[in-house]
C-alpha cells in the first residue's frame, strides 16, 4: 500500500470536489473511474484525518472526487486539510 500526501494528489490531479455536488449516476461513474477518495475523520481529539481510495462507507466519512483518476498505486492519503477541497 502506497501512502501519499493530499497536497501531492492536488498538485498532480487538481482540486477535488465534494461528492454531494454530483448527481447519483454521475457519482457512480466517478467511482468506477477511480476518482473518489473517502476521507475518514478522526473522532479522537488530535487524531489525524486520512483518506482511502474508493467509496468506503462509514458514519465519519466525507467523499471527494478528483478531476482525473487517482493513480492505482495510491491507497492511503495523509495530510488532509479542509481548505484543499473545491
Comparing C-alpha atoms, which of 31, 13, 14 is closest to residue 22? Answer: 31
Structural domains in the chain (count): 1
* pTM for the full predicted model: 0.86
Q: State which residues form the domain around 10.
A: 2-84
pLDDT in tens, 11-67: 999 999 988 888 889 999 999 999 999 998 877 777 788 999 998 887 667 899 999
Q: Which residues contact 52 (CB under 8 A, 6 or more apart)?
A: 37, 38, 40, 75, 76, 77
Residue of 86 and 72 predicted with greater confidence: 72
Amino acid at each position: 500500500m502506497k501512502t501519499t500526501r493530499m497536497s501531492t494528489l492536488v498538485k498532480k490531479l487538481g482540486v477535488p470536489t465534494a461528492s454531494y455536488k454530483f448527481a447519483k449516476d454521475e457519482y457512480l461513474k466517478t467511482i468506477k473511474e477511480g476518482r473518489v477518495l473517502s476521507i475518514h475523520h478522526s473522532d479522537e481529539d488530535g487524531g489525524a484525518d486520512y483518506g482511502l481510495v474508493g467509496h468506503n462507507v462509514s458514519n465519519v466519512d466525507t467523499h471527494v472526487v478528483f478531476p482525473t483518476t487517482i493513480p492505482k498505486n495510491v491507497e492511503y492519503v495523509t495530510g488532509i486539510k479542509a481548505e484543499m477541497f473545491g
